[in-house]
Amino acid sequence: MENRRGNLCRYILPTVASSCCNFLYVVVDGIFVGQGVGVDALGAVNIAMPFTLITTALAMLMGIGGVTVTAIRLGRGDEKSANDAFLHASAISVAIGVLLMLAGMIFSRPVAAISGANGTFLELTATYIFYYSAFSLPFVCSILLQGFVRNDGSPGLVSVAVITGAVTNIFLDWQFVFPLKLGIAGAAVASGLGQVSSLLILLLHFVRRKGVLRLRPFHLSPFLFWKIFKRGLPEMISQFGTPVTTVWMNHVLIRQLGDLAVSAFSVLAYLTSFSMGIFFGVSEGLQPLIGQSYGKKDPTALRWYFRAGLLINLAGSVLVFVLFLLWGGPICSLFNSDPRLVKTATDALPKFGWAFIVISQNLIISAYLYSTKRTLQAIIAAICRCLILNTLTILLLPLLFGGGIIWQTVGIAEALSLLIYFILLKTSERKGLVFR
């Protein structure tokens, strides 16, 4: 028991810190842009968020998929095939980073328009996407290596890397937005350079040759690529849920409640991003522990880590919700001092924020499913949650009950998703755990 608690702390605490720092990039951009450029720029960064979150989702596809396969193989004592999984995930991530860079820089205006930008927002959003996408390769590689370096025995180095990146981003945001007055472009470049500094520190793990993972030539295996992709697909779909939600919310808000509501939602989105860093961090930290327990065929440890994750995320989400209830106004005013914007965001925050409690549980169940090779169930649940239910509730409920219900739609979708997760979990365990 003591050993499990120690493992829990050793994996979860650095992962939560890393995850929060990763999400902090967008939040810090929002604060500096909102205070230094204006309300329109604040809304533009939010509208650009789907692109930034899609970048994260694609990085997580290989990161989570690769780490899951690696953890199971390490649990079996097979270090060579574990290293092969790491190398295959890295190769695909580099290709993804290059493609995202080219797509974002060449098609920045169409991407901005698809994300919901029009009028004043279009040029500002396109500018942010152009400069942000220029750093897609280091961003994707940094996200990928955080998981592998952490699980290869250097969680402290990961914490140093992400904290250094976050501090670099904060300093450069201030420098570029205020003294140099580079506006929204400066905020995007600051985020990119922060990720570059994180990546350079993470690469030290392989220079020092700590752990079992090595950067070396390898033979491509389409089968292994597919296995990694399959394991990472549920997490990628989950990550896609946020940009899908953001796009639909922006479209509905512009149509029904106007530009002020879009800027208010941008504040909620920033707060959501940072809060989700906690819940994603716990689920990511649990994933290798669950994967290794599964590889060792230890059902007792498996269920202990699962229940611990549910309790930790439940406690964390309730705490976040209470903080928002008590200090919503001052927290929202960090992004912009416009009293109309602060009031709109503060009034919407409790209606929007209760969704965190449900989301925190969905993330743990999802990690448990794909880490125990129940990929099909994880994919079905992720598609229902992130692509179908969120879309239907955001688009249909305001038509039936008026624009005011828009702030409740995410929570309603997540509650329905939790029911689906629970049904799939219980159905898959009716015959007990199956070790394959």
Whether 435 maps to a domain, the answer reads no
Any domain includes 308: yes
Q: Which residues have C-beta within 8 Å of that of residue 267, sequence separation ≥ 6?
A: 30, 42, 332, 335, 336, 341, 345
The answer to the question of residue 210 being in a domain is yes
Asked whether the beta carbons of 19 and 297 are under 8 A apart, the reply is no
User: 3-class DSSP state for residue 169?
Assistant: helix
Flag whether 133 is in a domain.
yes
**CA–CA separation, 236 vs 63, rounded Å?**
10
Q: CA–CA separation, 359 vs 84, rounded Å? A: 33
- Contact at 8 Å (CB) between 45 and 187? yes
In the prediction, which pLDDT does 104 show? Answer: 92
Q: How large is the angle between the packed helices 299-333 and 2-36, nearest 10 degrees?
A: 20
The Cα–Cα gap between 103 and 341 comes to 33
Q: Is 120 exposed, middle or buried (0-12, 13-18, 19+ CB in 10 A)?
A: middle
Contact indicator for 43, 262 with CB cutoff of 8 Å: yes
- Total domain count for the chain? 1
Local confidence pLDDT in tens for the 436 residues of the chain:
657 887 777 778 777 877 777 667 667 777 788 778 777 777 787 778 778 877 877 887 788 788 878 877 877 778 888 888 889 999 989 999 999 999 999 999 998 888 777 777 788 889 999 999 999 999 999 988 988 888 787 877 888 898 898 889 889 989 998 888 888 899 889 989 999 999 999 999 988 877 788 888 888 888 888 888 888 887 777 777 777 777 788 778 878 887 788 888 878 877 777 777 788 888 878 877 887 788 788 888 888 999 999 999 999 999 989 988 888 888 888 877 788 888 888 998 888 889 989 999 999 998 888 778 787 888 888 888 878 998 899 999 998 888 789 899 989 999 999 999 989 888 877 766 555 5
Residue type for 297, please?
A: K
Contact 234, 375 (CB under 8 A): yes
Strand (E) positions, 264-421?
none
What does the longest C-alpha to C-alpha distance in the chain come to?
Answer: 64
The encoded tokens of residue 367 equal 């990690």
pTM as predicted:
0.74
Let me know if residue 66 belongs to a domain: yes
Show Cβ contacts of residue 89 under 8 Å, excluding neighbours closer than 6 positions: 62, 63, 65, 66, 67, 144, 148, 228
Structural domain range at position 278: 2-428
pLDDT at 433: 57
What integer pLDDT is reported at residue 2 of this predicted model? 59
Residues whose CB falls within 8 Å of the CB of residue 199, separated by 6 or more in sequence, listed in order: 138, 141, 142, 145, 161
Tokens of 184: 């929204």
Q: Is 436 contained in some domain?
A: no
In a domain, 433, yes or no: no
Task: Please check whether residue 315 lies inside any domain of the structure.
Answer: yes
